[in-house]
Amino acid sequence: TSSGAAPEFARRWASLRGALLAAVAAACALGLHGCDYAVPHHEVGNWRRKPDYLVSFEFIRPGQPASTAILNSCSEGVPETLQCSGRGYCKEWNQKATRSRGRGVSFCECDRDWADPECRTPRKSQVTTFLLALFGGPLGLDLFYLGFHLWGCLKLLTLGGLGFWWVLDIVRAGSGTVYAADFRVAGDLPHWVFVLSTVTLFGAVGFLLSVESYLRYRKAKRQDVLSLQESEEARQMGKMDEQLDGPRFRNGAPTTAFRDQREFSGYGSTLPAPMPNAGAPFAMPPPYGQAGRRAGPFGSAHP
């Protein structure tokens, strides 16, 4: 019947689906694992293809073939005139070792201005590095001198990191022997010279900036005064007759009558006060056309 065939079909399809998925997985595994691709390989490790430090700085006696090369010029049997290229001396690696087994391994201790195991590479100067960092830092001249050309270009494009990179390299180059592209620079810069020159330079820069700020402020104040004078001169002179005629006499406020009460006027600091008269009346001005009867400041005595 149709009802019994449906479960049978479902079971067959489930088993068939599992086999189909297994076949697809096997095909993917065979096609993606890279069996048909020739993987490049080498017999010698990449680390061994790099230049050997001992081979690059090995010592060969003058006039001898390369097959006679030894570790360094501090080996036994090498004359002292040939040791360290005449720019250093041999120093034992382990100075605390016992002498029972003979002479230990020694290496060259180079002079200040020379580097590498045989003292054949001249070091760059710390003085030159410091001066380039001090005066040419925004242009990256110190990094170009040390051999860091990529960093020098980056410092040049940013103008010394907007000043921060410049100041940082000044401190680095002056406070110690920094690394160049190959070895450290020679420590030929006294520390007191670095401190004195740095403090003097930045003190002078600060003084010049303060003077420039003062001059700019004074110029602005003078410009303000000049603008005020020009605005005064630009007034409309036709509406200001007193400026053209000069000082003139003007009538003040109308005076009060003689009999009226006196009011304060003037520039004094005291107000009018009554004068002592011992109880006697002052002479009063008589009516118009009559003589006064008493003596006083306003008339003469009459019988």
Q: Beta-carbon neighbour count of residue 82 at 10 Å?
A: 13
CA 120/CA 35 separation, integer angstroms: 52
How much is the pTM? 0.57
Decide: 256 and 263 in contact? Cβ < 8 Å: yes
Q: Which two tokens stand for residue 175?
A: 């406070």
CA 5/CA 303 separation, integer angstroms: 171
| Domain spans, the chain | 48-122, 126-189
Is a pLDDT exceeding 60 seen at residue 243? no
Q: Which two tokens stand for residue 125?
A: 């100067």
DSSP 66: G
Task: Place 18 in a pLDDT band, splitting at 50, 70 and 90.
Answer: confident
Q: Which two tokens stand for residue 46?
A: 């990449």
pLDDT (0 to 100) of residue 173: 93
Tens-digit pLDDT profile for residues 256-276: 555 665 555 555 555 555 666
